[in-house]
Amino acid sequence: MKPPIKRLADLKPSPAQTGAYARPTPMVARRKTAKVLTDAERAAFLASRPDLASKS
């Protein structure tokens, strides 16, 4: 015996069950997570780029 056909309204969660955040837009969904540098990698990168050195 087949299971009963579900209506579209039965498949949608009720408004009380939805999450606190809106769906991500396509722009946000395409962004990639940033690479986290170790202290040694960061020091080597900054040493190779004198224009990015901290201004003290």
Q: What is the pLDDT of residue 15?
A: 60
Residue 30 buriedness (CB in 10 A; 0-12 / 13-18 / 19+): exposed
Highest mean pLDDT: which of 11-20, 24-33, 36-45? 36-45
Residue 18 pLDDT more than 60?
A: no
Query: CB–CB of 29/37 below 8 Å?
Result: no
Q: What is the pLDDT of residue 39?
A: 93
Residue 33 pLDDT more than 70?
A: yes
Percent of the chain clearing pLDDT 90 (strictly above): 11
Q: Has this prediction a pTM greater than 0.75?
A: no
